[in-house]
Structure 1
Amino acid sequence: MMEASISNLGVFSYGVAAVCWLLLFLLLLTSWRGRLQGGLIVTAVMISMLWALRAAHYASAGASGPDWWYQLLEVSRGVMWLVFLVQLLEPSLRDSGSGRWLRWVWPALVGYGVLLVGVEQSTRLSLPFDPPADAATLGHIGLAIGGLALIEQLFRNTRPHRRWATKFLYLGLGLIFAYDFFLYADALLFKRLDPAVWEARGLVSAMAVPLIAVAASRNPEWSLDVFVSRRMVLHSAAIFGAGIYLLAMAGMGYYIRAYGGNWGTTLQLAFVAGAGVLLFVLLFSGQLRAKARVILSKHFFNYKYDYREEWLSFTHTLSSGEPNEPLRERAIRAAAEIVHSNGGLLWTRREPGDFSLAATWNLNEPSVRSEPGDSPLISFMEEQQWVIELDQCEQDPELYGDLVLPEWLRELHRAWLVIPLLHGEELKGFLVLAESRAQQQLNWEDRDLLKTAGRQVASYVALLETTEALWESRQFEAFHRLSAYVVHDLKNIAAQLALVVSNAARHKANPVFVEDAFSTVANATEKMNRLLAQLRKETRIGGSVQPVALAAAVCQAIAARAARRPTPTPHIAPDDEPWVRVDQERLIAVLEHLIQNAQEATHAEGVIEVSVYSENQMAVAAIRDNGCGMDAKFIRERLFKPFTTTKGNAGMGIGVYESREFAQAAGGSLTVVSQPGQGSTFFLRLPWLENPGTADDGSEANEWNHAVESS
């Protein structure tokens, strides 16, 4: 202990420290929820408070000898902070595999503290051994070094993004342990505690209190929610600022009086009076108080909302709801639940820029359902991007500048807030929310959260509108594709009828021609009826799937195209009878189209061969010609693209595309091999099916034989 008496400065120093620790203790105690880390820090702060009180009492008594209570509290304070730091380090020790040593750390620290107290009280306790003279000082240095080492390990093992929450704890406790090390190292060197260094120790301890308080408020896992009344802090800050202001003005007044000559006293009085008036104006300025309240709330207090919970609830409402709940109403409800509103309206931008009512939720529709894009309300939200509180706008209109509310909004008696929906920097729409279930005043945090939610709702609405536009586009695409298929089939039917009409003048007296004409008309009528039936069933493929002899279908397609030159020639092996399971009419139509394309690409004296065979469990129909052929780029980029044709107005450009779609839907494929000037070969491959004629009465086989013979 000190060999010289302590002055009253020590009483003031440790008294300030005791008050600071007491305030922090009360704050932590009222918010402690029973968790271990919170209990440890509360205990450490309480012991620090008792230690500061005992040190102030020790200084006031002017004692020069040892004080048992002070020594016990000082050792307990150091040990308790070390225990708290070890508990913070525990997760890192557990992850590194050193956790098994953790259970020995607390007993070791307690034993170290008991031993140090025993050494401090060796003269009183009459120990059987006589400890070294500097043993107690070295013991205190050991506690300080241990604290600094633990702080260094904690800082090293704290992830960079988490250091924001704990750096003030490290700084505060580091200040305490570093000063203790300096105090006892100096005592070890000079064989006594320096009174001035010891007296300043109380103020140094008081400096660490706000740092520890900030760290506690930033660590909810300590089960601490430090709270001080915003009104109290605002008034305290005002008084503190006023004091600093008056001191500064007094200094300026003294300077004027000292160097103002004959006018010094007059100028000093005038200056002080003017400074007092200015201070009075500032203290009663509502705008200044509002700004100060926002600054204090943002930088010195915990947030009003648990943003994790708020955002999870918000996104859950957006992404899920009642099965029949419209999506836009769900968006209104998600934003309304943040401020406990029970209704709202959603307005979205429509072409050519006006805003229209898109959805309502528990709020009556206004008399007007459209808001011009150049109205004062829209212009204000686009420029300021503010959340408009309607009551505040009515009571204090100067806050909102030149904003003029539309009449329909004034007529909504329950309307409370107008929230802009910003998508990027574009105003996508706005929400009108009904009054809250409980009367409440919005602060900066409410407004920031509502603006953020408004941006999310804007993205949600934009995505919803894009999805609806895409769905509508797909509907039109399907309709156009179906129309193209119908026109393509009608074009083929019209070509058949046109051929009959063109030959009627020359052959109308020929009975064979008349019979063929009636057959053609009957075939065209059958195709038209089939087409209408397919349209009624809203399907193009798989309308009548059945086993089909591929060779028979090829022969029917060749017969249908035999009137056009060059005439296709079938190549069918009699011992190879591949069958497929498809819609027979669609198969014949596809084969006809492929043969027609070959005829159009080949000179009248050319060759077209249609082969049928089996290959690797696939039935193959190969249509070969020696026409103009195609290059690789055309095949890759244009051949199978819908609505792409080389026939000008004579073609629709969907025949090959439709043929490939048919093959793929049946589980097969349509490929082509071609070279310019050497012709092309199309390969239609369909899943092979065993000849069903071997298991029944052979009617299908007879039909196939008849088709081959007639071709």
Structure 2
Amino acid sequence: MELLIFSITALISFAGGMIILSRSGARYGRSMAAGLLFLSGAELCYILFSFRHGALPLQCALFFEMAGAGMFLLSVTSMETGLARNKAFLTWERRILITAYALYAALGLYFPQMTVTKDLDGIIRLGWVAKVHAVFIIISAVMFMWIVENIHRSSTDEQKRVLKYPVLGIIALGVAFLLMGVYRLSTLSIHMDMLMLQSLISLVGIVFVLFFSIRFKLFEMDIFVSRYIVYHSFTFLSIGAYLVAMGLFLLGVQRLGLKISFVSMGFFVFMALFVLAFILASKDVRQGLKFFIDTHFFANKYDYRKEWGELSGYLSIAFNEKQIIHVTAQVILDSMYISELSIFLRHGAEFRCGYAFPSRLPNLSIGEDEPLIAYLERNHSFLRKTPRGPDDTLWKTIVTDHQDLLDRSRIELAVAMTVENKLIGFIAVGKENPGTPYGRDDIDLLTAIASQSSAALMSARFAQELAVNKEVNAFNRMSSYVLHDLKNAAGNLSLILQNAPNHMDSEEFRADMIETISQTLGRIDKVMSRLGALPSKEELSRETIPVGDLIGLLLSKLDPRLEKLTVTTSVEPGLTVRTNRDMIERILENLIINATEALSDQGRITIQAGRENGAVSLSIEDNGPGMTEEFVRERLFKPFQTTKKNGTGLGLWQVKSIADQLGMGIEVENRPAQGVKFTIRIPD
């Protein structure tokens, strides 16, 4: 009976190996074929053993079993696309298997008594080399069953329909190997009945693999296993290995004849589980395990599809610059093994830190003339530890002469954020948590994220500009109505002027005329005080203006508004500015009126002017209620945004527009419930 079982299994294994070898050009197909051919060799050795009952056939059979298990492991490893792309991993796997085969063969040849021996009762006993062989068989079986199960779980429904046959077949082969190894370790012997059972189970698995291979062209399919399935599977496998190790430790203690009390045993079990729970709860351990799997089991360090998909989803619901920066940072922190991140965005002639983790970098900015900025504009990425080439002089300048900037900004790797080849910012990360140097995978991931975020930022800015333009259009439409009102008022005055020569002697006409003129002037004054024309964009004439005289004339003009207020002025003697008189008057007038409208009858306005850092500084400060931080940050200087009940929100917008046109800077110092200070800086 055993001869029939061994013969059929050997024949089908050999035929199956040759069929797969002839039909498949893939590496994993050839590995599977080699595994089946090695199995057929083991079955032939079983046949010889059934005739001679000697140790030599079994020594050969053990070698073929070991080689077959290794080939099956190599096959399923190469079948999974992610692992197959990791050339280094596959190379080391093949080297380890070849080394193990050679070492086992050498030990079997030179020390056969350490492999298998036959005692006086005719029972085949295992030596320590055969015990190591059994452990190798068990590990290989567990590994290739685990990988093929991950492959099946990661497959599409159509792939699962095709894969169910080989999965069952490979699992059957794994069960045969596992049963073989466990039995030999537990009994330290080899029996014919166990060999027959092992062969029958292997036969079932081989038939399923062959059926699948011929019908569905198994070895022409590429399958990708999600790394997140591998994470969880590897975690559960590690837990199982840990618990098995603890169990083997207890078993070894018992085998040595050591007596352990019930209390000691219970405490040992509790501590083993407690240590396991502590390890699983550690974020560093989980991150270290994830890093190990990403860098050793996959060709690419990151799952680009996942990161790209997550960022796309987040950016679809981010509508302004702050939200875009936040979701970009979150994706980077979740994807990379870092604890330091900063994002810099261009603001005029400098790059300001818009986001920093774990703590904000206070008032940190990098000028556009810094070598780091020039390097990013030229190369799009900067790696502190590695230059782009031996002649990278700019890199040497940055890491030697500007080391303080890199340390202060926590920059180990920086990637440019560009739109139409223009640098709008950059993403910088600090040291990687495991302490490993950054490589191509890290640069590629940050480059992809920076590209997508840059496009989203520009879209948000364009949308914001479009919204402002719509508001300006609304203002222009409203101005049309204002002009219409002014036209009507002018018409009323024109009628009075036409009728005056004929009716000036009438007391009633004079009374109506005075009333009409008063109402018309009140209407015009109200309109003109609240809606001024936008500053034109043509080149404006400039002249030298004494600042003291300018402020004095302006205060005289606004005297009716300042009657109940305390106004204090402090102007540096002989101070002058060269600018457009009308425009600077409109700026100061708007700021003073803005202050008067924010004050009660007992309010105070302080006006100061002087030279500071090569520019003339004009400041207007009040002690009113101030503004909210949210209003200053998000809405100040935008049209139709106001904190006053009857305000139009156009005065400060006009101030900012005129200041920008004249090349002036404007700053605001807000103190809620204490007042606001606006400062105009006029360059020489």
Compare CA radii of gyration and give the structure with the larger one: 1
- TM-score class, shorter: 0.3 to 0.5
TM-score normalised by length of structure 2: 0.41
TM-score normalised by length of structure 1: 0.40
